[in-house]
């Protein structure tokens, strides 16, 4: 009996140690997503390992029965099968991202206090990036001494134009929590829109405006603030030539030119090359990282209106769209599984949000990231992938216990 008791004690001590280590890694992950993408990847991988070990020790695998988990396993398994000849190791490693969401949603963020701190640190991240952007706008460099982007974009705390994509993904959980009164709601919405116009990155700005539409649909009490933000957007569009000529050129002139000649610009060439690869590999796709490997192959040189579609000179690392990437790497079955998985995620975190500010903001953030008509990074590129799955895990944690209110402190 004594040995058994000692065995249980050692086991309980190990589980408690893993809980504490997991909490520390979550907090470090939030820091490293801002500065230290490689370290963020290490942190999330360690969280995954601890999660699987504690599931084994507790003999608790109930989370595997979740609908989205089964779809994620099917999509990942298909990607691995399609990547058997090339980049198998990288395809296998993709599982670390959905595992992070499960680890957070069904283990580490089951405690209320850590949820509060994760949500709080995400809001502080928005403030940190925003202040760095405004410093760049005012003085030409951020608080670290780094200048604007080559085309005048506000890069925030980064050396490259990454502030816009990150802000568009983490902005709405912060904005909706800050909107506790009518005037705070108006100030938060207008401030967010003005900031995104000044950042001068087209797709993040469009996704932010899309998020405002979702806010109006999902939160009745925020509609008048959304209306005010819409008015601010119109005024900013008119005032940009004076406030920031470089931002005006990117947001207005370049965007109009790209839309008028989509088939002939770089994004159109990427889409045409992706379509050619998909047509040649409709069932099993080209495997993980297939676009990068096949883009320079003359077999796939085609444009929407004939020609070589830019030849090898237009090649980039990925198709710049999550759904196009899913089809390139896994064929039409991979695309179908990815679409089903995206819908399953939204269904899992959207059920019962009831106008709660944080949960609604997290749902909008996920919808923005998963919106199909958008230019994007690689699906598993940090830090965007890290932010998406971190916020997804937070949303799953609230949905898992049926919390009617997130009540962030």
Tell whether 304 is covered by a domain: no
Write a three-state SS string for 88-148: HHHHHHCCHHHHHHHHHHHCHHHCHHHHHHHHHHHHHHHHHHHHHHHHHHHHCECCCCCEC
pLDDT of residue 153: 87
What pLDDT digit, counting tens, does each position of 164-201 carry? 999 999 999 999 999 878 899 999 999 999 999 999 89
**Over residues 274-288, mean pLDDT:** 95
Tell whether 333 is covered by a domain: no
What pLDDT digit, counting tens, does each position of 234-243 carry? 999 999 999 8
Asked if the model's pLDDT at residue 402 lies above 90, the reply is no
Tell whether 75 is covered by a domain: no
pLDDT of residue 259: 66
β-partners of residue 141 are 147
CA distance 85 to 69: 26
Asked if the model's pLDDT at residue 152 lies above 90, the reply is no
- Asked if residue 275 lies in contact with residue 282, where contact means CB atoms within 8 angstroms, the answer is no
Asked if the model's pLDDT at residue 409 lies above 50, the reply is no
- Asked if residue 29 lies in contact with residue 390, where contact means CB atoms within 8 angstroms, the answer is yes
Tokens of 238: 């008119």
Based on the structure, what is the number of domains in the chain? Answer: 1
Expressed as residue numbers, the domain containing 107 is: 5-60+95-260+351-400
CA distance 272 to 310: 10
What pLDDT digit, counting tens, does each position of 260-276 carry? 676 678 888 999 999 99
Q: pLDDT class for 27, splitting at 50, 70, 90?
A: very high
Tell whether 276 is covered by a domain: no
Residue 306, helix vs strand vs coil: strand
CA distance 82 to 75: 11
DSSP 36: -
């Amino acid at each position: 009996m004594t040995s058994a008791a000692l065995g249980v004690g050692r086991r309980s001590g190990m589980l408690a140690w893993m809980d504490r280590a997991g909490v520390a890694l979550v907090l470090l992950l939030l820091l490293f997503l801002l500065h230290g993408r490689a370290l963020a990847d290490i942190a999330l991988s360690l969280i995954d390992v601890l999660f699987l070990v504690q599931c084994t020790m507790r003999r608790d695998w109930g989370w595997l029965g979740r609908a989205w988990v089964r779809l994620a396993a099917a999509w990942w398994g298909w990607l691995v099968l399609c990547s058997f000849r090339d980049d198998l190791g990288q395809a296998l490693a993709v599982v670390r991202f959905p595992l992070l969401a499960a680890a957070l949603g069904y283990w580490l963020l089951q405690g209320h206090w850590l949820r509060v701190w994760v949500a709080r640190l995400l809001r502080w991240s928005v403030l940190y990036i925003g202040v760095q952007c405004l410093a760049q706008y005012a003085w030409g460099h951020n608080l670290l001494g780094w200048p604007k982007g080559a085309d005048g974009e506000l890069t925030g705390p980064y050396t490259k134009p990454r502030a816009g994509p990150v802000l568009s993904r983490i902005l709405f959980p912060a904005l909706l929590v800050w909107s506790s009164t009518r005037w705070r709601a108006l100030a938060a919405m207008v401030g967010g829109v003005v900031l995104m116009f000044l950042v001068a990155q087209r797709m993040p700005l469009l996704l932010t405006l899309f998020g405002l539409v979702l806010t109006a649909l999902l939160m009745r009490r925020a509609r008048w603030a959304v209306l005010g933000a819409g008015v601010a957007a119109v005024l900013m569009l008119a005032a940009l030539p004076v406030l920031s000529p470089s931002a005006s050129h990117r947001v207005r002139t370049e965007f109009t030119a790209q839309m008028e000649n989509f088939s002939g610009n770089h994004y159109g060439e990427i889409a045409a090359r992706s379509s050619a690869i998909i047509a040649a590999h409709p069932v099993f796709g080209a495997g993980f990282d297939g676009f990068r490997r096949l883009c320079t192959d003359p077999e796939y040189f085609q444009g929407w209106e004939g020609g070589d579609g830019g030849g090898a000179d237009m090649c980039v690392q990925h198709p710049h769209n999550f759904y196009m990437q899913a089809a390139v790497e896994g064929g039409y079955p991979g695309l179908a599984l990815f679409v089903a998985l995206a819908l399953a995620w939204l269904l899992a975190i959207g059920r019962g949000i009831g106008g709660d500010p944080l949960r609604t903001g997290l749902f909008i953030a996920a919808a923005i990231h998963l919106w199909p008509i958008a230019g994007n990074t690689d699906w598993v590129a940090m830090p965007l992938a890290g932010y998406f799955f971190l916020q997804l895990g937070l949303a799953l944690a609230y949905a898992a216990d049926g919390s009617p209110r997130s009540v962030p402190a």
